[in-house]
Chains A and B, each alone.
Chain A
Amino acid sequence: KAGVTQTPRYLIKTRGQQVTLSCSPISGHRSVSWYQQTPGQGLQFLFEYFSETQRNKGNFPGRFSGRQFSNSRSEMNVSTLELGDSALYLCASSPGSGGSLFFGSGTQLSVL
């Protein structure tokens, strides 16, 4: 069974631009959650989707948004990028809301 796939693996953007990151969960998994990881802050929870509905949301500004499609694939969008948005963005899937999380390799975003 294929694991969680995140694309792209690396991304370089400039301030003010927007970016869309993609996550394909493990087949059959209906829950997808997103995290931001920076060296000083560790893993910060962004949001969790289950069956196309946002179930939980972390403490991030409205520039960070996401969605989940009917096939459980998820996208995360960051608008008006700031230098501080440079981070590793991780996606995790699980069969349902709750339970074991399975992570992708992440997207390393650099904002210049």
Chain B
Amino acid sequence: DAKTTQPTSMDCAEGRAANLPCNHSTISGNEYVYWYRQIHSQGPQYIIHGLKNNETNEMASLIITEDRKSSTLILPHATLRDTAVYYCIVRAPMGTGNNRKLIWGLGTSLAVNP
């Protein structure tokens, strides 16, 4: 089963970039890296995903290493509202019909400080 490893917690100053790392050494060739975040007592919110190229959207950037064994989520200008738990998971693409069981770790608790 695909598993990811993330630091338990991180701090970031407001306005600075937050770089959240994730290791996924057992990722399969067709599995994507997904990032979600969860604010207390709400459902996780989708942030971004990628296969092997770097990706950027209005929320964040995703950098995936060439060997695909690790990735970094970048919040370019962190705000107080970015304080949340961030999860990195690997998941098969839609339509493959061959999902391995999703394993969510405890994520990284990011605290953005004023």
Contacts and interface: CB of A to CB of B under 8 A. Distances in A.
- A-B pairs, 10 with minimum CB distance: A99-B94, A103-B43, A43-B104, A96-B94, A42-B106, A98-B92, A98-B94, A45-B102, A103-B44, A96-B95
Interface residues of B, number: 27
12 contacts: A43-B87, A48-B99, A56-B100, A57-B101, A90-B44, A92-B44, A96-B94, A97-B95, A98-B94, A100-B49, A101-B34, A102-B46
A98 B99 CA distance: 6
Contacts, number: 76
A106 interface: yes
A25 interface: no
B7 interface: no
A100 B91 CA distance: 8
B91 A99 contact: yes
A108 interface: yes
Contacts of A108: 41
B8 to A, nearest CB: 11
Interface string B5-23: 0000000000000000000
Given A56-B99, A98-B97, A104 B104 contact: no
Given A103-B44, A104-B43, A98 B91 contact: yes
Interface majority SS (helix, strand, loop, mixed), chain B: loop
Contacts of B45: 103
A45 B91 CA distance: 13
A104 B87 CA distance: 16
A100 B34 CA distance: 8
